[in-house]
Structure 1
Amino acid sequence: MPGRGKIQIFSGRSSEEYATEVLQNLRNLNEYTSKFVDLAGEKQVKLFSNGEMEVEILTSVRKKDIYIIQHTSNRNCQMLSTHENKIELYHLVDALKRSHAGSITVFEPFISCSRSDRAYARNSSGLAIHFKTLVSIGANHIITYQIHSEKSKMMVDPVTAYIDDIPLYPVIQRYILKEFVKTRDYFHDVVHNNWAICSVDAGGEKVARNFADIFSCQLIIANKRRSYSKTNTIEGVSLLTDESIEGKTVWVIDDMIDTAGSIVELLKALKEKKPAQVNVAVVHPVLSGPGISRLIELHDLKYLDNLMVCDTIWISDQMKKDLPFMQIIPTAPLAADIIYKTNIGESLSVYYDPVNPYHVLNY
């Protein structure tokens, strides 16, 4: 029996399509969840002429286990800004708290301010502000996917709330194994000897090394020289590896791709080493500014063969048309399972377990 009361799911306007997919997957999860009724909570967002907002909850949520699904990226089907999405999320939490919800979990697949996680001198920390605001107005649980820095979780005081950062690298690993490797023979004969995993920068070495260990293949560490006079700008990249990558398939792994500046310089450096194929796999497809046009150019120049992304941020039909070489890895089934396990009090540790290729591959 559920330990946190009846589940009810609300969505911010930026994530309505994703929330609908989660609801469908939750109903189809097992025999118990198939009996769930009235899962979707109703709300009304009121916008005033002076720019202010108000959210009204139209469903009784008293003592219920509430989940708010909302990413705060400015790329969404409603064309809402990052700031509008944040304010709507804060209003949703406040309205639900005032409506006597039993528990309030903010499920934020992508936290747009996740890179603003440090204060160097007199600058603000967007992530600290975001977490403090959510907790202070009533959220007692935050769930997200692959936050930019593991240390960021320390910003949430477990006395007042707790955070679950669910890694999506295992999801990507399983996808690559199923769609690109497929069989154990190919894994042994081709992947071990003719694949290489490359980090985007030195900070991504741990992740790249994990992938290289899973696939038992060559590791490449990229060291990028960032411009500190201009944001989102890379001055150059050097590659560190003991073996040649000529004629091999290279996989570049990162947690997100934004303007694609890092990828451009890295793929140029890789091209000089004459690999047979270069694929990029990332969790969050931020793709702001020139990001999409840069990827199109990289593909046209034969620098980039395949792009894998998760659906943590809305991807329009036009983007799919512009990037036919992009494959989208669905995460709504995972979100449904996370919500179910959270509701019944089951451990989430299974999501942190390392991937065993032999449990995924065919004979």
Structure 2
Amino acid sequence: MTGITTTGEKRLVLIGGRAHPELTEEVAAALGVEVVPTTAYDFANGEIYVRFQESVRGSDAFVIQSHCAPINQWIMEQLLMVDALKRASAKRITVVAPFYGYARQDKKHRGREPISARLIADMFRTAGADRLMSVDLHAAQIQGYFDGPVDHLWALPLLADYVGSRVDRNRLTIVSPDAGRVRVADLWSDRLGAPLAIIHKRRDPNVANQVKVHELVGDVEGRTCVLVDDMIDTAGTIVQAAEALKDNGAADIVVAATHAVLSGPAVDRLKNSAVSEVIVTNTLPVAEERRFPQLTTLSIAPLIARAIREVFDDGSVTSLFEGNA
């Protein structure tokens, strides 16, 4: 069976949806397995059909799907794959969502709003998932929304080590683009031995994806500034933060983020900004026409593969990050 690796009586099955097949293939190569052949297509009315072409009975199944656009379609496809695995008698099912959809809706900001991140976790649990694995959740408390084990992987070591190998650390400053990212920026600061700066912003609650930069806390004049965030969506926050750094005398501005959502005007904004390099991982696919000269993409596949192997072998996922936090 091409998609299965065996250890004693245990069998590891790797399944991938249609959202980001390149990442699934990279993970499979790192694990030394092949992806289970799967039939998946859309009916004329938009409904999704999935079927695995080999037995998964008694297996330890890992279902990889990044929640990229069209996000609702790919979440639904992954739910159907989980349901199919449960009905095909898989022994354990792990949902691997490198980018977890609806993660920004993790609490009620105002009355009569949903907590969408909790609903996504509930749907996967109801579909039959035993475990959830994701990379750099927008909010750490999402781990508590899923009624089962959650493996929260960090891209920070991958991104920070790349940045640290390419800049003069004596001139480096880590910058949080808003108050919500201060904790992550502080971890970057500790890892690279660099001072920290913070940009204070205020977001209009009535207008999505629009922010105003108010003030900068920290010294950035003449320094190489690394703006760190978990995702770049429309790039409004990052570009305004870069302009604030430039206005305060920063010599060079680099952006490092895990998830390249790159919605709407993001590419044009970044291409025409003061940012010299945008470093992301491949948790999400970036279409060829959405790539731009400043973009650098690092592969998250080795990290996901190592985490899958630890889970399959009943090892420690935490050990992958010991000494990194």
Report the TM range for the smaller structure's normalisation: over 0.9
Query: Which of 37, 50, 56 is residue 42 of structure 1 equivalent to?
Result: 37
2:169 is matched with 191
Q: 1:72 aligns with which of 62, 67, 80?
A: 67
Secondary structure of 1:203 counterpart: helix
In structure 2, the residue matched to 1:145 is 135
**Match in the other structure for 1:116:** 105
* Alpha-carbon distance, 1:52 to partner: 2.2
Other structure's SS at 1:118 match: coil
Aligned position for 1:281? 256
In the TM superposition, residue 46 of structure 1 has moved relative to its aligned partner by 4.2
1:171 maps to which residue? Answer: 158
Which residue identity is paired with 1:174?
D
Q: 2:184 — aligned with what?
A: 207
Please state if 1:267 is matched with 2:236: no
Measure the CA separation in 1 of the matches of 2:62 and 2:8: 15
Distance 2:76 2:55 in 1: 22
In 2, the alpha carbon distance for the partners of 1:133 and 1:228 equals: 28
1:6 is aligned with what amino acid? Answer: R
2:18 paired with 1:13: yes
Distance 1:355-1:13 versus aligned 2 partners, 3 A rule: same
Residue 2 of structure 1 and its aligned partner are, at CA, apart by: 4.0
- Alignment TM-score, normalising by the size of structure 2: 0.93
Residue in 2 that maps onto 1:252: 227
Q: Which has the larger radius of gyration?
A: 1
CA contact (8 A) 1:196 1:249 kept: yes
Q: Which moved more, 1:105-114 or 1:347-356?
A: 347-356
Task: Structure 1: state its 5+ residue gaps.
Answer: 28-35, 75-80, 182-189, 357-363
User: Is the CA contact 1:200–1:223 (under 8 Å) kept in the aligned structure 2?
Assistant: yes
Q: Please give the root-mean-square deviation of Cα atoms over the aligned residues, in Å.
A: 1.7
Give the residue type in structure 1 aligned to 2:154. P
The answer to whether the aligner puts 1:101 opposite 2:111 as a matched pair is no
For the residue of structure 2 that corresponds to 1:6, the secondary structure is strand
Aligned position for 2:3: none
Higher helix share: 1
Counterpart contact for 2:271–2:293, Cα < 8 Å: no
Higher relative contact order (CA 8 A, sep 6+): 1
Equivalent residue number for residue 62 of structure 1 = 57
Task: After TM superposition, give the deviation of residue 49 of structure 1 in Å.
Answer: 2.6
1: distance between equivalents of 2:188 and 2:214?
A: 21
Given the superposition, is the C-alpha separation of residues 100 and 249 from structure 1 closer, same or farther in structure 2, using an over 3 Å criterion?
A: same
- In the alignment, the residues of structure 1 paired with residue 298 and residue 42 of structure 2 have an alpha-carbon distance, to the nearest angstrom, of 34
Show the 5 A alignment for 1:221-232.
221-232=198-209
Alignment of structure 1 residues 225-244 onto 2, 5 Å: 225-241=202-218, 243=219
The CA distance in 2 between the partners of 1:155 and 1:59, in whole Å, is: 32
Residue 162 of structure 1 corresponds to: 149
Q: How far 1:57 sits from its partner (Å)?
A: 2.1
Does structure 1 conserve the Cα–Cα contact (< 8 Å) formed by 2:282 and 2:299?
yes
Letter aligned with residue 219 of structure 1: L
Q: Aligned residue pairs: how many? A: 319
Change (3 A) 1:325 1:51: closer
TM-score when scaled to structure 1?
0.84
Q: CA deviation at 1:344?
A: 0.7
Alignment equivalent of 2:300, drawn from 324, 331, 353: 331
Q: Tell me the amino acid that sits aligned with residue 334 of structure 1.
A: L
Cα distance, 1:214 vs structure 2:
1.9
Distance change in 2, residues 1:122/1:247 (3 Å)? same
The match for 1:184 is: none
Q: In the alignment, which residue of structure 2 is the partner of 1:310?
A: 281
